[in-house]
Structure 1
């Protein structure tokens, strides 16, 4: 049996007070619409059709899914009119699942339940009981409260109907052949002059098609976003859910309310994460590792027992960042793409590492830059020292052997090699290879000039 999925994403979102199309606003680092698309990809559909309208070009360029197709709703004449635009792409038989692009946290299991309840024969409506159902369509049942008779939109509901707490979420699964018939019969005889998708419920009842209400597992998964306030509320709900899952797996969070995952965070047991940390992309943290407060970590692997001190900025981009077991990083360190720290490496305050490997026990404890470098075991890299890796056109590599001591305020002009056990005198600018086991110094001779006086400011 064919399964078509239709996602409505055409609305303006005027209450967002934003030039950005509503479905492209981000939740946990991903657009609302992309959340929905990622969820439905697990359902094994034959076709995914997204209906765009306001900002259609921008929306279509911003989202991805296997086999995704777009249709446009122009002008915007209501939800029923939106789904009518998808009719030419629907199969003749089977089931059509209709979801909303601004309801990002719908669970795959709930969507599957909705499809199964339809079974290609029934009209299955996703509903939820809300304490305050303002703005939602209400589910109207018979006198016994069993059979679903219809959906009345909030704007068209009577005062008595507005007291109904069972709300229609805007999502449904319908027999595709019947859905096509019902969509063709829609009219805009209502307060808004729009074509309501909900009107097909009464048509189904009249046609003798059984209408069933599928209950959502929880309120959060069916909450839509119409305002920035609602988006912020949903963000906190989502993050709290992630936090609770991590704590259940043995992660110690100092405060679950001050924690953000905008991608995938995988933690072993006994990991500790302090407040106001942000994780993006894919981050793996090994057993017993600790992350201090106010850290930003993106696309990184942190080995067991590593300690990330406060205010560390770690962005691996495509190359990633790797932190070895027992390493110490920060505070106020910056690790860029390709930073690969071995076991027990120390990277201290205001040290930047980019596209460089540091072997076991190497240390750069403060105020330094290592770019495009290979650093050997137990190297001590002094404060204020840098690898000058860029000649204005190309990048070059610096190779520092094991047991090297680089004094403070040195410049290593790449390409260059510093031999094992070498010492670079403080304040040196090294532009040639430094031999192993020797002291290399490259600085002007100190001179004291007697009788010299400072210039005096001229009197006016």
Structure 2
């Protein structure tokens, strides 16, 4: 049966107090709307329609990048005259048959299993609503049932509800599935005869009852699936609830988190056995941690593969971006180290405090322990790269490569001006600025002769 998905994403989000459209505010590092699209991508829909309005151009441009593989169609709601009016904008592109599933772009954690259950409840013949009982239903539309509590008769918006109706705690979550043919007819009959002078999508429930179409309810497995975001406080609360779910999933797999309340996953994290993660660590993009990896406190790791037995000491920043970062088995990184895109570190490499590595390969056992920079470099085995040493890889227009052979010793405070090659076993004297290849097995020193001047005095300040 044909499945059409409609995602409402036209609202301004006034209570967010932001120039950014509400659905683009990030949850776990991705726009809220992108989370919804990620879920719908698993439902084998014939079409996915996103209704935009406030900040439409920004929302559409962002989603084309964030969900580039999703075949999204965009329709605009201008002006915004309510939820029913929003879905009316999708009618011209909806087919005449099948099922339409309606979701909200600011309710990001709806699960695919819940959406499937709602579609099955609809079955192309019934109006299916996703409902839930809440201790505090303030702000939600209330489900009104018959005197036996079985048949759904209507949804009454909070602002239009009587005191008796507000006492009901079963609420409509904003998600429904309907036979597309019937939905299009109901949408055509909507009016704005209510306190807000808006066209409410929820009015289709009463229409279905009048048309003798069964109205059924399905329920999510978790409240977090249906929590919407209308303010920064609600976004922060949902973030923590989401992160707690991710933390519990990892701990069930055997990952040891020092404090699951101080853990952030903003992408995908794959862990081997006996992984230890300290507090306040952030994982972004796609990260793989091998067996027995230890991540120290306050680290940020993005798009990286960290192989078995490696230790990432506290306050290390690893950002693989598009090129990725690889840390070899048994490597020691940090504290306060920075690995940038294209860093490829072999087994037992040591990268110490305030060392930055970019687009460089370090072979087994190479060490850069203090205050150094390696950019566009190929470093051999067992190299000792001294404190304060840098590769001068940029000439103002182009990048050039530095090649350092096996067993090279680079003294402290050296500048290696690329392109340059240091042969196997070469030693570069401390303080040297080297602009020519250094022969294998020899000491190369390139610094000015030391001079001491007798009788010299420091300049003194003149007094007015």
Q: Using structure 2 for the length normalisation, give the TM-score.
A: 0.98
State the alpha-carbon separation in 2 of the partners of residues 76 and 454 from structure 1.
Answer: 74
Matched, 1:48 2:48: yes
1:176 has 2:203 as partner: no
Q: Distance in 1 between matches of 2:455 and 2:55?
A: 75
Gaps of 5+ in 1: none
1:74-114: CA deviations, max 9, x gaps? 11111111111111111111100000010000001100110
Which one of the candidate residues 284, 294, 300 is aligned to 1:280?
A: 284
Counterpart-to-counterpart distance in 2, 1:48 and 1:86: 10
Tell me whether 1:66 sits opposite 2:46 in the alignment. Answer: no
Matching residue of 2:304: 300
Q: Tell me, yes or no, if structure 1 residue 428 matches structure 2 residue 432.
A: yes
2:241 corresponds to which residue?
237
TM-fit CA distance, 1:446: 1.6
Unaligned runs of 5+ in 2: none
Query: What is the match of residue 76 of structure 1?
Result: 80
Structure 2 match to 1:20: 20
How far 1:457 moved relative to its partner?
A: 2.9
The Cα RMSD (Å) is: 0.8
Partner of 2:224: 220
Where do 1:44-443 residues align within 5 Å? 44-63=44-63, 64=67, 65-443=69-447
The count of corresponding residues between Structure 1 and Structure 2 is: 460
CA distance in 1, matches of 2:408, 2:298: 33
Q: Secondary structure at the match of 1:240?
A: helix
Q: Distance in 2 between matches of 1:270 and 1:331?
A: 21
Cα distance in 2 for partners of 1:67, 1:331 equals 44
Deviations 1:322-370 (A, max 9, x none): 0000000001111111001000000000000010000000000000000
**Quick one: distance in 1 between partners of 2:430 and 2:11?**
64
SS at match of 1:36: helix
Distance in 2 (CA, whole Å) between partners of 1:295 and 1:367 is 18
Q: Is the partner of 1:42 in helix, strand or coil?
A: coil
Secondary structure of the structure 2 residue equivalent to 1:317 = coil
Partners of 2:222 and 2:410 lie apart in 1 by 59
Per-residue CA deviations over 1:131-161 (Å, capped at 9, x if unaligned) read: 1010000111111111111111111111111
Q: Aligned equivalents of 1:400 and 1:73: distance in 2?
A: 61
Q: Look up the SS of the partner of 1:12 in the other structure.
A: coil
Residue number among 452, 455, 459 corresponding to 1:455 in the alignment: 459
**Alpha-carbon distance between aligned partners in 2 of 1:268 and 1:431, rounded to the nearest angstrom:** 45
**TM-score between the two structures when normalised by the length of structure 1:** 0.99
Distance 1:168 1:74 in 2: 25
Work out the CA distance in 2 between the residues paired with 1:459 and 1:224: 69
Residue 459 (structure 1) shift: 4.0
2:440 match: secondary structure? coil
Q: Deviations over 1:216-251 (max 9, x none)?
A: 111000000011100000000100000000111111
Secondary structure of the 2:355 match is strand
